[in-house]
Amino acid sequence: MNPILIDGQWRPATQIGEFEASNPCTSEPLGEKYPISGWDDCSAALDAARIAAEELELAPDEQIAGFLDRYSERLSDAAAEICAQAETETALSLKPRLLDVEMPRTINQLRLAAKSVREGAWRSPVVDREAGIRSCYGPIGPALIFGPNNFPFAFNAVSGGDFAAAIAAGNPVIAKAHSAHPGTSRMLAEQAHLAVADSGLPAATVQMLFGLGRTDGLRMVSDPRLSVASFTGSRGGGLALKNAADTVGTPIYLEMSSVNPVFFLPGAIAERGDDLPGELVGSCLMGVGQFCTSPNMFVLMQSEASSQFLDAVKSQLDSGPVGALLTGSGLESLQQSIASLREAGADVLAGGQIVEQPGYRFQNTLLQTTGKRFLQAPDALQTEAFGPATLAVVVDDAEEALAVAAKVEGSLTGCIYSATDGSDDPLAEQLMRVLRRNVGRLLNDKMPTGVAVSPAMNHGGPFPATGHPGFTAVGLPASIRRFAKLDCYDNIRESRLPTCLRE
Amino acid sequence: MNPILIDGQWRPATQIGEFEASNPCTSEPLGEKYPISGWDDCSAALDAARIAAEELELAPDEQIAGFLDRYSERLSDAAAEICAQAETETALSLKPRLLDVEMPRTINQLRLAAKSVREGAWRSPVVDREAGIRSCYGPIGPALIFGPNNFPFAFNAVSGGDFAAAIAAGNPVIAKAHSAHPGTSRMLAEQAHLAVADSGLPAATVQMLFGLGRTDGLRMVSDPRLSVASFTGSRGGGLALKNAADTVGTPIYLEMSSVNPVFFLPGAIAERGDDLPGELVGSCLMGVGQFCTSPNMFVLMQSEASSQFLDAVKSQLDSGPVGALLTGSGLESLQQSIASLREAGADVLAGGQIVEQPGYRFQNTLLQTTGKRFLQAPDALQTEAFGPATLAVVVDDAEEALAVAAKVEGSLTGCIYSATDGSDDPLAEQLMRVLRRNVGRLLNDKMPTGVAVSPAMNHGGPFPATGHPGFTAVGLPASIRRFAKLDCYDNIRESRLPTCLRE
């Protein structure tokens, strides 16, 4: 039985159950046992985090930045071993995905977080000398982070974007490892633990639990010792945690399901009809369709060219690789979602079935509906389908396209492909305005699946994509603000001010 | 019967009831009738706001700024008349409070909001040329604002800080007037309405309702046509609205009750024991104790000097003016709160009773408890008492003072008075660190009741003082961020970008 990381020690859990991960390519259990913690573990982690938060308030910025750098170095050194473990647990490709893309991205995020700590812009210091009032952002307190199944490093609760942001603001993190890749999470946490020691931060700066009883997760989120929570995952899980946090007024940042509509306007199809189906299918199948920004829906206008476009999409999905999904429960959810979409008025043009071969596999799936049917059941036809599936909405005209755009539920992204010669511009501009209200990131002529770690990135959007449209989960230093509290100092003596507010 | 302001028209309400305000000095009703609107009015306002929000997206910054300036000019011109009405409805002094302080502050807020719109810093534009990604804050959509009873202009839903911030971000506002000063709100809304016409903004940019059925308020907050809500008032009302908004994921900003503890350290009492009771009493009685930042609790260490300090506070409260409270319901609430505090272990040293004379009056009240009793019932002893009442917590030693500070519930402010010779510094610095976690604004040697309109101000704090410790309700341009959504533009063609993101 693997130990848990509490207050700087790897120690046995006060166990109420156990689980093991499986190999998604074979559905076979992997043999390693991980504990489901009882409340005593949760409570011990919260106590230790509270004390660590107080100690971290006194830590110089350089020490926190030093930890982030040291952790990134340790991940570089251990990358091969950790990526091999992640490949076993997730079936994501070792190369390029894990070794060449996700691990470097994760290391880069930690380094950018260190840089943000040293630069200090995230604090937004404001000094009003005349009034004697100063303000800046500071740490908010202990953070509980729930990582998702789909990015074992870059969004992992113990190494990903939320982790880096929460630490950068000076908060201790309690990481809840995702049950699909506990071994990967353990290896990451081991490096984080060593880096905490290397840099001399409080022992409980990084803690990790592998499993929680469902009610204990809700209980932790509403515990007065916790100051902030973040969650990346399914809508059901996110809403339950949000409800628990809201009741006690604890900020919680959620990244839940997102439809990510793509609009192909007639001129774009006329110009680039040969290339665009491939771009779309590539984006839909990226990570076996398990990206938060995967295009789950695309819209095109009824025409001969659109029919050919759909045929090409269908044929490329049919002939595309059928990857293994991350988990067995994900496979079941996907099957249910496809059934719900069909029931709501979507027809299957390609795929639609579980693949009977070893591992968690579902056919690459293309669904189709009309604009009219979509407008009759916009909620049901936006049922989350996390996997290699997408819904074509074929509208009659521009007006119907705009009506569909207005009914898009809060999403991370929204995209418009239009002609380069300007022929689509009037509609494109109207669509932009409608979509802007419903999405966090607008794109032109580009698929949404790439989420660059850029200071200008917004990985966020209106509910239910996230819990608040004013915050981003990716992009430093902006992502740090989620784990910060605004502190104002009115007539405070110079020696008692935070460094960034002194003369 | 007064009409309501919907979609640019003053029109009769679809009435389900009526009310009138009363003169707080006499308890006599004022005679003017105001309607309680049925759902049809609410729905009409939401429909109109939705359309206005779309039109406002196209309005140039200068037009929005122009409206705010024009409104401020109109308020300057109509100030005498509006202040006279407010004096009748609130019993706040015409001079200096209404004419010399609150109206100029309100006019200044509108002007600063106009300036913020022109400067555009609130948008925080970020351009990543290499990645082709840009982001900035933009309008979030229709805002519903509930104003409080205690600032008829500066926090009024149709003229105050939330109004100015929501408009500055480019959002239409539906104002819910407070029932204690409907005539004042009507006069303000008349000027806003005329300024909307002067500046050519959409007719429904500013709308106002006087009264709502309780369930209709909750229904509006959870209506999909609404994008954001804000509320300033009692904890009970705020929590009900928060619950309704949270369920549908609509951001809501709350400013609820706040204890605003003041710590008097021994050296400060030794140095300034003659002056500090007067400072405290002045702050406690400001606005008849009905300021969000009124010091509802102060802490001092058991000593002969502290006893003399308390005697002085008691004597100044006893001899101080007994002002009229804003409303009859506020008088009842205060009476109940004092009873709850006594039940929880507080003794009455001064006042504690309703004053039997015309108007809504309660004796200036001093309560006292020990640190031990406070630590046994910290929640009950922080019961909101909105009015001229404060609780002295007499602690045994520094350790108990720190324990009390740690149990202070989320507050707008926290204050420490310490000796100028440095003798209190070790404790003062420990207290600062503990209080920082629980309050939004720390003060030294200064009472919290002045809330300067400064860019460095934070009028906010942890729950339950507000709903999120990262936002301020006062101080431009920061307060605008509450009514903003983060918009990202990825590979978007130059001509389609917002002005602030173009080359």
Partner-chain contact A470 B460, CB within 8 Å = no
Same domain for A305 and A321? yes
Helix residue ranges per DSSP H, A275-424: 276-285, 304-319, 328-343, 371-376, 398-406
Shortest alpha-carbon distance between residue A39 and chain B (Å)? 24
Active site residues of B: 255, 292
Is there a domain that residue B16 lies in?
Answer: no
How far are the Cα atoms of A296, A349, A407, B142 from residue A364, in angstroms, in the given order? 12, 10, 26, 40
Same domain for B50 and B148? yes
Stretch 171-190 of chain B: residues touching chain A, C-beta under 8 Å: none
pLDDT in tens, A35-49: 999 999 999 999 999
Same domain for A231 and A273? no
**Distance from C-alpha of B329 to C-alpha of A52, rounded to nearest angstrom:** 45
**DSSP annotation of A361:** B
The phi and psi torsions of A157 (rounded to 5 degrees) equal: -60, -20
Partner-chain contact B248 A471, CB within 8 Å = no
Same domain for B328 and B239? no
Number of folded domains in chain A? Answer: 2
Best of B105, B490, B492, B497 to substitute, by most chain A Cβ atoms within 10 angstroms, is B490
**DSSP annotation of B395:** E
Burial string for B125-147 (b: 16+ CB within 10 Å, else e) reads: bbbbeebbbbbbbbbbbbbbbbb
Residues of B in contact with A497 (CB under 8 A): none
Same domain for B328 and B473? no
Is there a domain that residue A381 lies in?
Answer: yes
The mean pLDDT of chain A is 97
- A489–chain B Cβ distance below 8 A for any pair: yes
Same domain for A166 and A280? no
- B420–chain A Cβ distance below 8 A for any pair: no
Same domain for A200 and A68? yes
Is there a domain that residue A406 lies in?
Answer: yes
Is there a domain that residue A15 lies in?
Answer: no
- B295–chain A Cβ distance below 8 A for any pair: no
What CATH number should be reported for the domain holding residue A64? 3.40.605.10
pLDDT in tens, A429-482: 999 999 999 999 999 999 999 889 999 999 999 999 999 999 999 999 999 999
Is residue A100 predicted with pLDDT exceeding 90?
Answer: yes
**How many A-B residue pairs are in contact by the CB < 8 A criterion?**
180
Torsion angle defined by CA atoms of residues B393, A485, A222 and B346, in that order, rounded to the nearest 10 degrees: 10
Cα distance between the two ends of chain A: 54
Best of B486, B494, B495, B496 to substitute, by most chain A Cβ atoms within 10 angstroms, is B486
In chain A, the percentage of residues whose pLDDT exceeds 70 is 100
> In tens digits, what is the pLDDT along chain B, a chain of 503 residues?
999 999 999 999 999 999 999 999 999 999 999 999 999 999 999 999 999 999 999 999 999 999 999 999 999 999 999 999 999 999 999 999 999 999 999 999 999 999 999 999 999 999 999 999 999 999 999 999 999 999 999 999 999 999 999 999 999 999 999 999 999 999 999 999 999 999 999 999 999 999 999 899 999 999 999 999 999 999 999 999 999 999 999 999 999 989 999 999 999 999 999 999 999 999 999 999 999 999 999 999 999 999 999 999 999 999 999 999 999 999 999 999 999 999 999 999 999 999 988 999 999 999 999 999 999 999 999 998 999 999 999 999 999 999 999 999 999 999 999 999 999 999 999 999 999 999 999 999 999 998 899 999 999 999 999 999 999 999 999 999 999 999 999 999 999 999 999 98
Q: Which residue of B has its CA nearest to A55?
A: B433
**Distance from C-alpha of B190 to C-alpha of B180, rounded to nearest angstrom:** 18
- B502–chain A Cβ distance below 8 A for any pair: no
Partner-chain contact A443 B491, CB within 8 Å = yes
Residues of B in contact with A249 (CB under 8 A): 242, 410, 462-464, 467
Residue B277 corresponds to which tokens in the numbers above? 């009771």
- Please state the pTM of the whole predicted model: 0.97
- B47–chain A Cβ distance below 8 A for any pair: no
If 0-12 CB within 10 Å is exposed, 13-18 middle and 19+ buried, where does residue B55 land?
middle
Instruction: Count Cα neighbours of B479 within 13 Å in the Cβ-side half-sphere.
Output: 31
Considering only the beta carbons, identify the residue of A437, A454, A460 that sits closest to B486.
A460
| Beta-bridge partner residues of B133 | B128, B490
Average pLDDT over residues A123-152: 97
Average pLDDT over residues A253-279: 97
Asked if A67 and A201 touch (Cβ cutoff 8 Å), the reply is yes
Same domain for B165 and B214? yes
**Distance from C-alpha of B447 to C-alpha of B295, rounded to nearest angstrom:** 8
Same domain for B304 and B194? no
What CATH number should be reported for the domain holding residue B352? 3.40.309.10
Considering only the beta carbons, identify the residue of B249, B455, B468 that sits closest to A126.
B455
**Who contacts A463 (Cβ-Cβ below 8 Å, separation ≥6)?**
A410, A469, B248, B249, B250
Is there a domain that residue B99 lies in?
Answer: yes
Is there a domain that residue B207 lies in?
Answer: yes
**Who contacts B419 (Cβ-Cβ below 8 Å, separation ≥6)?**
B265, B266, B267, B268, B270, B271
Hey, what long-range contacts does A424-430 have (CB within 8 A, 24 or more apart)?
A424/A265, A424/A266, A424/A267, A424/A268, A427/A265, A427/A398, A427/A401, A427/A402, A428/A265, A428/B496, A429/B496, A430/A398, A430/A402
The pLDDT of residue A356 is 87
Q: What 3-state DSSP class applies to A146?
A: strand
Is there a domain that residue A3 lies in?
Answer: no
Of B336, B392, B401, B351, which Cα lies nearest the Cα of B368? B392
- B410–chain A Cβ distance below 8 A for any pair: yes
Active site residues of A: 255, 292
| Beta-bridge partner residues of B254 | B231
Same domain for A88 and A166? yes
Stretch 438-467 of chain A: residues touching chain B, C-beta under 8 Å: 440-446, 448, 452, 454-458, 460, 462-464, 467
Q: Which helix (H) or strand (E) holds A41?
A: helix A39-56
Of A432, A442, A437, A431, which Cα lies nearest the Cα of A463? A437
The pLDDT of residue A376 is 98
Q: Which helix (H) or strand (E) holds B350?
A: strand B347-350
Same domain for A85 and A125? yes
- A243–chain B Cβ distance below 8 A for any pair: yes
Considering only the beta carbons, identify the residue of A126, A432, A442 that sits closest to B488.
A442
Of B167, B169, B22, B153, which Cα lies nearest the Cα of B100? B153
Residue B269 corresponds to which tokens in the numbers above? 């009492």
- B263–chain A Cβ distance below 8 A for any pair: no
Is there a domain that residue B472 lies in?
Answer: yes
**Distance from C-alpha of B153 to C-alpha of A469, rounded to nearest angstrom:** 29
Print the domain residue range for B220.
29-256+466-501
The pLDDT of residue B257 is 87
Considering only the beta carbons, identify the residue of A140, A444, A470 that sits closest to B492.
A444
Q: How confident is the model at residue A357 (pLDDT cuts 50, 70, 90)?
A: confident
Average pLDDT over residues A237-256: 97
Asked if A141 and A228 touch (Cβ cutoff 8 Å), the reply is yes
Same domain for A231 and A215? yes
